[in-house]
């Protein structure tokens, strides 16, 4: 286990510094989202229909995708795309099943006659938000829907923008969604949280989205569970003198093309490597077809940091708590053992984020903006609640009642004292 590390900012040299701060760049959308949620609560489907027309320029009579349209979307998939989608589904399923197998239910007798335990209970109904985005991200529905089905959720609802690529509907269908709705944005979150004439209310909402989706998830949280509040994608690479500049630059740009607000970075103990990566990124941008997006992300949020020691490199990484963290060091497994704060770890230069993004099996819905300091990413356990229980024999009552009675009395809680004592009195003790 990694020990606590103190960050010495004086030991950091920014070979390439970000021009903007991702944590202070979010636009205030709180008021608009609150209005959307209130309207959906009051007007149901009519409000959803109006907002879909306003934001997505589509007016639909029916939101739900029929089974015939779902099957048609699958039929229209390119055969290789369908095969690759199924490959990803199989891998994500296999890993989720392995994770589920690690979750044990327990029943223990901690004192004579005092029995307690817990059960792992799948949620009744979950809503999966599937973003539209710049490109049809076919892996997105797989990552949210498949683990829910493996967990045993009673009903899985999927919502995606009405103008999302048809292949995304196919992805939702193949991943096992019970119902699919053409609703996007904050209105989708509101509909799933409160229910409308068409959309059933869910117990928990998962999945990434834009600032409006994120804010809507924040506002409905409480009676409705959420997975997390996800910001723009992040990738950082830790590297020593063994790092390969071309490989690192390629991986950074592979994430930078996601969005103009993607945060990408290299943290290294080798200054020559740091300088080489900056040059290599600039070189690769000249031929990258998605350079318009990637270049802006690199300019605004890209950073390359030279650290004077390995300890400084590890401390800065722990402070960043990157969503995706790649380790390109001489002994990456040893480096991994010294780290605690990240969304998902990629050990060694052969383990690229892109494999997890698409099909290798770990989930790509991960904590961002430093949330890796306190939580992990989406997994099969996200869809399960662990609930405790207990039962006592008369011997068990004898074990715990005296202490409970005395504590209640010292706290001045007469009702508690009576409840603790009445069973003892009835036993004639």
Asked whether residue 345 is assigned to any structural domain, the reply reads yes
Is residue 337 located within the same domain as residue 405?
A: no
> Does residue 193 lie in a domain region?
yes
Let me know: does 132 contact 168? Beta carbons within 8 Å: yes
**What are the tens digits of pLDDT across the range 319-334?**
999 999 999 999 999 9
Confidence of residue 236 (pLDDT cuts 50, 70, 90): very high
Residues 236 and 208 in one domain: no
How much is the average pLDDT of 215-237?
94
Looking at the structure, do residues 88 and 207 belong to the same domain, yes or no?
A: yes
pLDDT digits (tens, 9 = 90+) for 252-263: 999 999 999 999
Give the residue from 227, 251, 283 where a domain finishes.
227
Note the pLDDT tens digit of each residue in 279-333: 999 999 999 999 999 999 999 999 999 999 999 999 999 999 999 999 999 999 9
Which pLDDT score is estimated for 23? 59
Report if pTM > 0.75: yes
Q: Give the pLDDT score at 150.
A: 98
Domain shared by 290 and 420, yes or no? no
Does residue 94 carry a pLDDT above 70?
yes
**What is the reported pLDDT for 315?**
97
Do both 253 and 240 map to the same domain?
A: yes
- Model confidence at 56, pLDDT cuts 50, 70, 90, reads very high
CA angle (83 as vertex; 86, 381 as ends), nearest 5: 15
Mean per-residue pLDDT of the chain: 95
Same domain as 296, residue 165: no
Mean pLDDT of all residues in 177-195: 98
Q: How many separate domains does the chain show?
A: 3
Confidence of residue 21 (pLDDT cuts 50, 70, 90): confident
> Would 343 be classed as within a structural domain?
yes
Matching residue, tokens 């077809």: 289
In the set 258, 324, 328, 364, the catalytic residue is: 324
Residues 223 and 237 reside in one and the same domain = no
Whether residue 337 sits in one domain with residue 208: no
Average pLDDT for residues 93-120, to the nearest whole number? 97
pLDDT, tens digit (0-9, with 9 covering 90-100), for 61-75: 999 999 999 999 999
Instruction: Check pLDDT > 70 for residue 26.
Output: no
pLDDT of residue 4: 59
Averaged pLDDT, 189-196? 98
* One domain for residues 211 and 283: no
Residues 292 and 414 grouped into a single domain? no
Q: Please report the pLDDT score of residue 7 as a whole number.
A: 87
Residue 132, pLDDT above cutoff 90: no
HSE, side-chain direction, 13 A CA sphere, residue 40: 29
Domain-located, residue 189: yes
Is 411 noted as a catalytic residue in this protein? no
User: Binning pLDDT at 50, 70 and 90, where does residue 22 land?
Assistant: low
pLDDT reported for residue 420? 96
Q: Is residue 210 part of a domain?
A: yes
In a domain, 197, yes or no: yes
pLDDT of the residue at 231: 84
Of 215, 257, 323, 349, which residue is the catalytic one? 323
> So what's the pLDDT on residue 133?
66
Residue 164: give its domain's CATH number.
3.40.50.1980
Give the residue from 185, 210, 227 where a domain finishes.
Answer: 227
pLDDT for 134 equals 66
Which of 227, 245, 279 is the endpoint of a domain? 227
196 and 338 inside one domain: no
Q: Which single residue is written with the structure tokens 């949020």?
A: 301
Regarding whether 99 and 20 lie in a shared domain, the answer is: no
Q: How confident is the model at residue 20 (pLDDT cuts 50, 70, 90)?
A: confident
In a domain, 97, yes or no: yes
Q: Does residue 33 belong to any structural domain of this protein?
A: no
Tens-digit pLDDT profile for residues 334-389: 999 999 999 999 999 999 999 999 999 999 999 999 999 999 999 999 999 999 99
Tokens 């029995």 identify what position? 115
Could you list the residue range(s) of the whole structural domain that residue 314 is in?
A: 9-26+231-376
pLDDT-derived band at 6 (thresholds 50, 70, 90) equals confident
Catalytic, 416? Answer: no
Q: What is the dihedral of CA 129, 134, 139, 140, to 10 degrees?
A: -10
Query: Is the pLDDT confidence value at 43 over 70?
Result: yes
Instruction: Place 93 in a pLDDT band, splitting at 50, 70 and 90.
Output: very high
């Amino acid at each position: 286990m990694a020990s606590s590390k103190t960050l010495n900012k004086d030991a950091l040299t920014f070979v390439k510094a970000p021009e903007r701060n991702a944590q202070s760049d979010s636009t205030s959308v709180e008021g608009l989202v609150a209005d959307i949620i209130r309207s959906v609560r009051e007007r149901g489907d009519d409000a959803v229909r109006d907002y879909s027309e306003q934001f997505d320029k589509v007016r639909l009579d029916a939101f739900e995708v029929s089974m015939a349209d779902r099957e048609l979307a699958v039929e229209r998939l390119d055969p290789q795309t369908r095969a690759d989608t199924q490959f990803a589904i199989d891998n994500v399923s296999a890993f989720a099943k392995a994770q589920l197998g690690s979750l044990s239910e327990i029943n223990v007798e901690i004192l004579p006659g005092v029995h307690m335990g817990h059960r792992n209970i799948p949620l009744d109904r979950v809503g999966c938000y599937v973003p539209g985005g710049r490109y049809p991200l076919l892996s997105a529905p797989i990552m949210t829907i498949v683990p829910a089905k493996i967990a045993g959720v009673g009903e899985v609802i999927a919502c995606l923008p009405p103008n999302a690529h048809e292949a995304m509907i196919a992805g939702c269908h193949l991943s096992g969604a019970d119902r699919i709705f053409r609703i996007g944005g904050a209105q989708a979150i509101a509909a799933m949280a409160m229910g409308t004439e068409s959309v059933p209310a869910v117990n928990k909402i998962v999945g990434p989205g834009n600032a409006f989706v994120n804010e809507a998830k924040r506002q409905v949280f409480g009676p409705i569970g959420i997975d997390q509040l996800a910001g723009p994608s992040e990738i950082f690479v830790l590297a020593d003198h063994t790092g390969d500049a071309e490989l690192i630059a390629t991986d950074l740009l592979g994430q930078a093309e996601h969005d103009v607000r993607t945060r990408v970075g290299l943290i290294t103990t080798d200054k020559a490597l740091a300088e080489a990566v900056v040059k290599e990124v600039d070189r690769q941008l000249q031929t990258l077809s998605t350079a318009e997006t990637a270049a802006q992300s690199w300019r605004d949020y890209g950073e390359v940091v030279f650290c004077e020691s390995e300890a400084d490199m590890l401390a800065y990484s722990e402070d960043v708590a990157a969503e995706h963290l790649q380790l390109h060091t001489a002994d990456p497994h040893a480096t991994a053992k010294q780290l605690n704060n990240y969304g998902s770890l990629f050990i060694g230069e052969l383990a690229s984020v892109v494999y997890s993004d698409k099909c290798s099996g770990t989930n790509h819905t991960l904590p961002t903006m430093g949330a890796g300091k306190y939580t992990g990413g989406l997994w099969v356990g996200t869809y399960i609640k662990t609930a405790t229980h207990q039962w006592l024999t008369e011997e068990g009552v004898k074990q715990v009642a005296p202490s409970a009675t005395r504590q209640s009395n010292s706290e001045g809680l007469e009702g508690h004292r009576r409840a603790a004592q009445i069973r003892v009195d009835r036993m004639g003790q």
